[in-house]
Structure formats: structure tokens, C-alpha cells
Amino acid sequence: MIRITLMEPEKFVIDEVPDPEIEPGEALIRVKSNGICGGDVAPYVGKKLDIFPLPSVLGHEFGGIVEDIKGNAGEVRIGDKVAVYPALPCGNCYYCTRGMGFACNNMRFYGVGGTDGGFAEMFKAPIDNCVVLDKEFELTNIGIIEPATVALKAIGEFVNSTLAIYGVGSIGMLMIQIAKSNNNKIVAIDIDQKHLETARLIGADLVVDANDASKNAIIRKYLDSERDEIDAIILTVCSQEVLDWAINNVRKVGTIKNITVMDSVGLSVNFNQVWTKQLTISGQDCYTQEQFRKAARLVEEGIIKKEGVITKYFPLAEVEEAFKYRVNENALKVILTG
């Protein structure tokens, strides 16, 4: 099989290696879909190497067809289409023993921090991490399930609310679809005009150029009522300017969620403003397997659609062309296919 390693920024190596040998409790999967995440792009362009050290076999948005199984397979069968839940909590730490494995102190995660990911033709994974998909599921689109899970955790609790999504890349587009299914009003904010137009087409109620000096007035005019304010702001990009804007523009007792790894950690927060407005500010990293399963069901049911999310497909062996396209075109979701 071929396995792809990012050796250093902008340098992939494709190796021929033996297929993985599975142990009891594991499944062998022929990988058919790998989404390219912003977390994969960061080390490719030489950023965030403390979080994404190189060399690394990337890929945490993936799945395919089960080729072999050893041990008690539960609901998983050879020939099944599966998405791979990429988190590997230890099961023994304070958080794992209290039902919060998503916050595991010893978390390993496929494609991050030295744990090989799915950028290969074949992959072995614990059977318990395999989420079985409908027989009719389009294999090449398995790669949107993991980012859909991120979107679901960020947005799923909000119903009948007014939400601002600051940054509408692929996860922002997924959030729009989930939020609209829960009867939320959506303000989409970005600097990319193509992304804003896509956001409008898939359901955003208002799209706003983040660089427009009059953006606050545009939003205020749209809301058109003192009672209708922004209940929550979800940040898929974050800087000092963006954080300040969010604190200033969310309603009292509102929520601000940051779901991205920032380039700079030296941001300041006006806690007097947080106190007087009684805001909730939170971060989001990992998610539960139950949330992953629920996101898979939303894709299967058509609540989450690939339209407006997936920009282009590339064969796995064309990984360099895929990454160049993703970066140079500021594309949404790019999928590597097996």
C-alpha cells in the first residue's frame, strides 16, 4: 500500500509499505475518503508545528470499507462502509473515568502529534472507533463527517436563536446547515466574497464582509429591533480584533465560542465587559463519539449536504496538488479519494 508522510513544510513523501497487521479488537479499512482539514494545512505551510510536529502522517477526517476484522466485531461487518472516530482517549484519567473522554489528559488523535493518520491506502483502527454508515452512503464524502461533528458540537445546542458565525470556511458552512435545521437566524461574516456567496446560497440570512467598516450598522439594520440581538457568536477564526468585536457585539448573557487553534495566544480580554454583560466565553477542541455518530446520521439524512462544503476531489496520490489547490484557491473542503 502507499502511505503519505509530510516530512517538512510543503514536502510530502509517498512510500510503499506493507499493509497494517491487525490485532484482536481491530479492523482493517481500505481508505476511500480523507478530508483535508485546516489543521493539516497548518504544518504544510509551516505553522503551528508545536501542535502538529513533523514528520507526520496526516489525516483525521477519513473512512472507507472494512476489509478484515479480528475479534468481537459487534455491529461492524466485513464490507461495511465506516467512518473512523479519530480520538483515542486513554480511558483511565480523571476525565475519562467521569464520562468526559473528549477532555482526556492523555489524548491521542489520528494524524496529530505523532499518531499516524489516514493518509494511506489501508488503515487499522479499533473496531470501537468504526461508525457504520448506510449502504447507500457516498464513500468519497465520508471526509465531511468529522468536520460536521465539530460544527454540531459548536452549534447544536442553539435553537430559535440569532447566531453570528465569524469565518465561513467548510466548518462554518456545516454550522449554517445544522443551525438552520434548528430554526436559528444566521449572520455569516468573512473576508472571502466567494465564501460569503456560498453561505448565502446554503441558508445564511445575512452575509457581511468582515472588512466593511460599516458591518455593525449593516447587522443592526438587519436585526431591526432592540429585542433581536446576537445570542451567540461562533469564531472559526480568532484574533484580538475578532475577539474584541465579539465581546462588543454579542447580547448580554450571550455566548462566545472559539473553535480554532489560534496563531497567537497572547490575546487580552476585557473582563469588566465580560462581567457587566455576564457573558459565557468558551473554547472547543474535541468531541464525543456519540456526537460523531449523530453527525454521521445528519449527513445520511441529508440535513447536512456536500453542496456548499466540498470544493474538489483529488486521488490520494495527488496529495501535493490537492494541498496546493486548497491553499492557493482558499478552497473549502478538499477530499482525497482512494
Which amino acid appears at position 71 of this protein? G
- State the residue for C-alpha cell 460544527: 151
For residues 251 and 214, membership in a common domain is answered with yes
pLDDT value of residue 71: 85
**What letter would DSSP give residue 313?**
E
294: cell is 449523530
pLDDT value of residue 264: 64
Q: How far apart are CA 263 and CA 260, in angstroms?
A: 9
For residues 248 and 222, membership in a common domain is answered with yes
pLDDT value of residue 263: 66
For residues 128 and 225, membership in a common domain is answered with no
- Looking at residue 218, which CATH number applies to its domain? 3.40.50.720
* Number of domains observed in the structure of the chain: 2
**What letter would DSSP give residue 19?**
P
List, as own/partner pairs, every contact residues 192-195 make where C-beta atoms lie below 8 angstroms and the sequence separation is at least 24, other chains included: 192/168, 192/330, 194/330, 195/168, 195/169, 195/330, 195/332
**What letter would DSSP give residue 47?**
-
- Terminal-to-terminal C-alpha distance of the chain: 11
Q: How far apart are CA 78 and CA 57, in angstroms?
A: 25
For residues 88 and 177, membership in a common domain is answered with no
Pairing, β 162-166 against β 185-190: parallel
For residues 106 and 199, membership in a common domain is answered with no
pLDDT value of residue 56: 96
For residues 267 and 326, membership in a common domain is answered with no
> Are the CB atoms for 33 and 336 separated by under 8 Å?
yes
Per the structure, the complete domain to which residue 25 belongs is given by: 2-138+306-337
Residue 251 lies in a domain: yes
- The alpha helices in 131-230, defined as continuous H runs, are 145-155, 170-181, 193-201, 215-223
- State the residue for C-alpha cell 475479534: 71
pLDDT value of residue 261: 79
256: cell is 462566545
**Is 0.85 surpassed by the pTM of this model?**
yes
pLDDT value of residue 230: 96
Reading the chain (338 residues) residue by residue, the pLDDT tens digits are: 999 999 999 999 999 999 999 999 999 999 999 999 999 999 999 998 888 899 999 999 999 999 999 987 788 999 999 999 999 999 999 999 999 999 999 999 999 988 999 999 999 999 999 999 999 999 999 999 999 999 999 998 999 999 999 999 999 999 999 999 999 999 999 999 999 999 999 999 999 999 999 999 999 999 976 678 999 999 999 999 999 999 999 999 999 999 987 766 678 999 999 999 999 999 999 999 999 999 999 999 999 999 889 999 999 999 999 999 999 999 999 999 99
**What letter would DSSP give residue 112?**
B
Residue 293 lies in a domain: no
What sign does the CA torsion over 220, 221, 222, 223 have? Answer: positive
